[in-house]
């Protein structure tokens, strides 16, 4: 079987992870890298062994030896690139957030169905052994149900080599959409659909124009809940606050953030009644089958019809719907029911 021909649209920082996964695969080959900056496109093509590079992704899409594309450009441009890819008969793996509006998400889903091509959203946390262990323990009832998943992360606005566009409100919706997409998607993956969203979102930092700090609570149809706090409001190179990470609280106990042991393995600890503890150890290679390589392999296998995408276009749409509901709740000061 011939290897799948891959085109990379966008040569920014995220392309390094995707291109490394392509290079490591024996099921695909990198054909072309497209970026508006010719030197960036050429550099990435040379580094990862592409046959060619381009400054216009339409040139990439016109190539008959490109079977599928990975889209890693600002979210507001995802739909345009994806629709063009489907029109030329390509399969699509698109970075998160899938798009900035639900109309764009729907257009992408519809175009993929009409073309008979795979649309996969790069929700790479679904391939993370660390978060996967937490999900496994929660679903096994180790802390009881319903439960509360808490996620807190903070830092400064993305710095080079990540693009300054992340802090530009004309191109980005800030951390709740750009980074929170992973969190909103993963808790949906764990608990099912969200019933309601309550949020506040504001600009705390002095970099850029996005609303850089948000607090969101999600109520799930299952009765479970999530508290999510994301901020890019700290000054550059400032150390984080007192809490970063996640835990899960339930009527039967508390599941702590996993930790890396001296022997190289990881462990999750569940604190139960009367001081009882359960320790669950596991391997967590932060590469290979668990992250971008696992995601890319899932994409290739889905193209060949042997698997289905772990994160579909519908999953990407629902994650963005949560983010949009959070923005609406922040604007109105009210709880927002889903679907929008």
Does 140 fall in a domain?
Answer: yes
Looking at the structure, tell me whether residues 296 and 276 fall in a common domain.
no
Looking at the structure, tell me whether residues 155 and 215 fall in a common domain.
yes
Does 314 fall in a domain?
Answer: no
Q: Write out pLDDT tens, residues 217-227.
A: 999 999 999 99
pLDDT for 290 equals 65
Looking at the structure, tell me whether residues 59 and 184 fall in a common domain.
no
Looking at the structure, tell me whether residues 140 and 215 fall in a common domain.
yes
Q: Write out pLDDT tens, residues 32-54.
A: 999 999 999 999 999 999 999 99
Task: State how many domains the chain has.
Answer: 2
Does 249 fall in a domain?
Answer: yes
Least confident window among 24-28, 143-147, 259-263, 284-288:
284-288
- DSSP calls for 31-51: EEEE-SSHHHHHHHHHHHT-S
Is residue 97 pLDDT above 80, yes or no?
Answer: yes
Does 90 fall in a domain?
Answer: yes
Q: Where are the beta strands (DSSP E) in 134-209?
A: 148-156, 194-202
Looking at the structure, tell me whether residues 250 and 267 fall in a common domain.
yes
Looking at the structure, tell me whether residues 8 and 80 fall in a common domain.
yes
Does 52 fall in a domain?
Answer: yes
Q: Which residue has the higher pLDDT, 95 or 261?
A: 95
Q: Write out pLDDT tens, residues 275-307.
A: 999 999 998 876 545 689 999 999 999 999 999
Contact status, residue 297 vs residue 289, Cβ threshold 8 Å: yes
| CATH classification at residue 33 | 3.40.50.720
Looking at the structure, tell me whether residues 133 and 269 fall in a common domain.
yes
Residues with Cβ within 8 Å of 77's Cβ and at least 6 positions away in sequence, in order, are none
pLDDT for 243 equals 65
Residues with Cβ within 8 Å of 338's Cβ and at least 6 positions away in sequence, in order, are 193, 194, 195, 196, 197, 321, 322, 325
**What are the CA-CA distances from residue 16 to residues 19, 47, 70, 276, 300 (Å)?**
5, 10, 12, 44, 18
Q: Which domain holds residue 71?
A: 4-124+290-309
Q: Write out pLDDT tens, residues 181-220.
A: 999 999 999 999 999 999 999 999 999 999 999 999 999 9
Looking at the structure, tell me whether residues 178 and 274 fall in a common domain.
yes
Is residue 29 pLDDT above 60, yes or no?
Answer: yes
Is residue 229 pLDDT above 90, yes or no?
Answer: yes
Looking at the structure, tell me whether residues 208 and 110 fall in a common domain.
no
Looking at the structure, tell me whether residues 189 and 274 fall in a common domain.
yes
Does 266 fall in a domain?
Answer: yes
Q: What is the chain's mean pLDDT, rounded?
A: 95
pLDDT for 336 equals 98
* Region 323-339 average pLDDT: 98
Task: Report the Cα–Cα distance between both ends of the chain, in Å, rounded.
Answer: 44
Is residue 160 pLDDT above 80, yes or no?
Answer: no
Q: Write out pLDDT tens, residues 101-141.
A: 999 999 999 999 999 999 999 999 999 999 999 999 999 99
Looking at the structure, tell me whether residues 180 and 277 fall in a common domain.
yes
Does 24 fall in a domain?
Answer: yes
Q: Write out pLDDT tens, residues 234-270.
A: 998 887 666 678 999 999 999 998 998 999 899 999 9
**For 148, which DSSP code?**
E
Q: What CA–CA distance (Å, rounded) separates 11 from 34?
A: 7
| CATH classification at residue 161 | 3.30.360.10
Looking at the structure, tell me whether residues 142 and 96 fall in a common domain.
no
pLDDT for 263 equals 92
Is residue 145 pLDDT above 80, yes or no?
Answer: yes
pLDDT for 63 equals 98
pLDDT for 284 equals 85
CA angle 283, 289, 290 (to 5 degrees): 60
Place 1 in a pLDDT band, splitting at 50, 70 and 90: low
Does 315 fall in a domain?
Answer: no
């Amino acid at each position: 079987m011939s290897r799948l021909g891959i085109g990379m649209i966008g040569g920014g920082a995220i392309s390094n992870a995707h291109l490394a996964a392509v290079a490591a695969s024996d099921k695909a080959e990198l054909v072309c890298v497209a970026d508006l900056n010719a030197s960036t496109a050429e550099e990435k093509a040379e580094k990862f062994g592409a046959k060619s590079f381009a400054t216009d992704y339409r040139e990439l899409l016109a190539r008959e030896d490109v079977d599928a594309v990975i889209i890693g450009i600002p979210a507001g441009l995802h739909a345009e690139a994806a629709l063009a890819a489907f029109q030329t008969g390509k399969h699509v793996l698109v970075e998160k957030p899938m798009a900035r509006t639900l109309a764009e998400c729907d257009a992408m889903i519809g175009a993929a169905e009409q073309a008979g091509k795979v649309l996969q959203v790069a929700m790479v946390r679904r391939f993370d052994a660390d978060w996967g262990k937490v999900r496994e323990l929660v679903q096994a009832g180790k802390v009881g149900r319903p439960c509360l998943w808490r996620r807190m992360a903070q830092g400064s606005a993305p710095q080079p080599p990540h693009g300054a566009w992340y802090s530009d409100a004309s191109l980005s919706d800030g951390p709740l959409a750009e980074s929170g997409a992973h969190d909103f998607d993963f808790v949906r993956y764990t608990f099912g659909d969200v019933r309601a969203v309550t949020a506040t979102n504001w600009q705390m930092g002095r970099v850029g124009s996005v609303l850089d700090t948000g607090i969101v609570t999600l109520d799930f149809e299952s009765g479970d809940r999530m508290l999510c706090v994301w901020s890019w409001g700290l000054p550059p190179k400032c150390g984080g606050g007192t809490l970063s990470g996640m835990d899960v609280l339930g009527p039967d106990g508390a599941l702590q953030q996993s930790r890396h042991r001296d022997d190289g393995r990881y462990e999750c600890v569940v604190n139960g009644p009367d001081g009882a503890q359960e320790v669950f150890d596991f391997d967590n290679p932060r590469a290979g089958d668990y992250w971008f390589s696992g995601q890319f392999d899932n994409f290739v296998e889905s193209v060949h019809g042997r698997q289905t995408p772990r994160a579909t276009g519908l999953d990407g749409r629902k994650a963005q719907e949560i983010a949009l509901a959070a923005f609406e709740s922040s604007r109105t000061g009210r709880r927002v029911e889903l679907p929008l």
